[in-house]
Amino acid sequence: MEADNLTELSEFLLLGLSDDPELQPVLFGLFLSMYLVTVLRNLLIILAISSDSHLHTPMYFFLSNLSFVDTCFISTTVPKMLVNIQARSKEISYMGCLTQVYFLMMFAGMDTFLLAVMAYDRFVAICHPLQYTVIMNPHLCGLLVLASWFIIFWVSLVHILLMKRLTFSTGTEIPHFFCELAQVLRVARCDTLLNNIVLYVATALLGVFPVAGILFSYSQIVSSLMRMSATEGKYKAFSTCGSHLCVVSLFNGTGLGVYLSSAVTHSSQSSSTASVMYAMVTPMLNPFIYSLRNKDVKGVLGRLLNRAASCLLWGTTSELRGCYWSIKQM
C-alpha cells in the first residue's frame, strides 16, 4: 500500500481488545463502570481535601493533584473507546491520535513525577520532622508541581513534533484500543530511528530518575525508622507510607508489564491486556487505596457523603443550597 503524508482527513483504525460482537456489550458495560467509579472516587478525594482545612497539608496537596491527573489519564482513552464500541467503529482521526498520544504521555509522566515528589514529602516528614513545615512550604510544593508540568509538557511536545514527520498508509491499523506511542511508531511507513532513540532516552530519564528518587527516599526512611525506639512512632510512620508504597508498586508494576509484553512477546493481545491494567485499573484503584488506608480521608469522605445524603433525602430547594455551601466550607 502506498505511503502518503497524512492530512487532517486521514484516519487510523484501532483494532481494540476483541472483534467478537457478543463480547462488545460486556466490554462496554465493564469499562463504563470502571470509568465512572474512577472519576467519581478521584473527584470525591479532591472535594474532601479542598473542603477540609485539616487536609490542607503538602501530603494531601500532592494527593489531590494525583487524583486530578488520574482522572485526566483515564479520560484520555476510555471515552473514545466507549464511543467506538457503541458505534461499532474503529476509526480515530490522525489529529485525534496525536492528541491522545500527547496527553497520555503527559499524564503518565505527571503520575511518575508526583509519586516521586510524594516520596520526598514522606522522607522530609519522617527524617526531618522538626523542619518539615519550613522545608515543605507552600511555595516549594507549588514549584515542584509546576516544574513537573513544565518538564513533561515539553517532553511530550517533542515526541509529537517528531511524529509529524512520519508517513503512514491509508487505513493504517493499530493493534490496540488507544493510540500508544510505541504502537504508532511500529506501523509507520518510514524510518523511525530518531523517534525510537528519543522515546528510549525520555523513558530512561523520566522513569529512572523518579524511581531512583523514590528508592533513595525510602532507604532513608527505613534507616530512620530502624533507629526509632518507639513502636507507636514506627507504626504511624509505616501507615503514612503504606498507601504511597502500594500506589508506587501498582503504577510501576503495571508500567513494567506493558513494556515487557510489548518488547518481549510482540503479541498485540497481551500488550493490550497489560495496557488495560496500566491505563484503567491503576487509576481506578489509587483512590480506593488512599481512602481505605487513610483515616483522615475516610473520615472526611464519610462526613461529606452523610451530609450530602441527608440533604438529598430531606432537604427543600433552599435547604439544598445551604447544604451545598456547608459542604464547600467543611
Q: Are 151 and 250 in contact (CB under 8 A)?
A: no
Q: Residue 274 gets which letter from DSSP?
A: H
Say how far apart CA 34 and CA 74 lie, in whole Å: 10
- Report the run of H or E that residue 165 belongs to, with start and end: none
Own/partner contacts of 3-7, CB < 8 Å, gap of 24 or more, are 3/167, 3/168, 3/169, 3/189, 3/190, 4/167, 4/169, 4/170, 5/167, 6/94, 6/167, 6/168, 7/94
- Amino acid at residue number 79: P
CA distance 326 to 51: 9
pLDDT in tens, the chain (330 residues): 444 444 444 688 888 777 777 888 888 999 999 999 999 989 988 988 888 778 888 988 999 999 999 999 999 999 998 988 888 888 888 888 999 999 999 999 999 999 999 999 999 988 888 899 999 999 999 999 999 999 999 999 999 999 988 888 777 888 888 888 888 888 888 888 999 899 888 888 888 889 899 999 999 988 888 887 766 666 777 777 878 888 888 887 777 766 666 655 555 566 677 777 778 888 888 888 877 666 777 777 777 777 666 666 655 455 445 555 454 555
Contact 178, 279 (CB under 8 A): yes
